[in-house]
Amino acid sequence: MPYYFESSGFWTSVLPILIGMVICLIASANVKATFKRYSDVHNSRGLTGAQTARQILDSNGLYHVAIEHVSGNLTDHYDPKANVVRLSDSVYSSTSVAALGVAAHECGHAVQHAVSYAPIKVREAVIPLTNIGSKLWYIIFVVGLALSSSSFGIGMVWAGIILFSLVVLFQVVTLPVEFNASRRALDTLESYHILEGEELKQSGKVLRAAAMTYVAAVANAILQLLRLIAIAKRRER
């Protein structure tokens, strides 16, 4: 290994950032391209994203969950506090198989809350800690580095890393929540005969591409955590 890379800490400082950025960019580009590709494929029943969402919610007894139109592209989400499924411009009134998959996915989150799906309860429980960690970890870490000649400074560095670990934890527990919502979406679209055959496969491709963005986020977060740990250990020497 070249001396420059060892002495400058390239492998522990710069490379993880670059790798994380590339992974996230690839995942983001893939989901956008996949969604765009199947946005031109319209379902044979002529249902819109909003109509599909209403049918799924009602079939699960979630008559109280509203559906709203929100501006933006792929800004779709379920708001558990307001009991609202919000569908974006590219989903709400669209009849594409891509739109129906996204709408069904967000309804999957509503069903998860209704049945008290365990992973989503865990995610909700760690959100307050995650909010604290995301706001404070960098400040504490950087101040610790500035004071790293002392044991107090090193302690602050590790405190910052622990706080960042809470962010990583949130990313990890989000994975089963998102994968389960996608599985529920495809099962629902198939069982209610909203999509069938090739349409269902195409919708599944959109949801799998979307799921990979969460995998990329976890990979990036873990890489950054390992990078911070490596920096801390170098300062301890």
- Annotated catalytic sites, by residue? 106
DSSP β-ladder status, 77-79 and 66-69 = unpaired
Residue 231 near residue 13, CB atoms below 8 Å: yes
Structure tokens at 6: 């060892």
C-alpha 96: how far from chain center: 23
Closest CA to 229 of 146, 164, 147: 164
* Number of helices followed by number of strands (H, E) in the chain: 9, 3
Side-by-side strand order, sheet with 84-87: 66-69, 84-87, 77-79
Residue 234 near residue 130, CB atoms below 8 Å: no
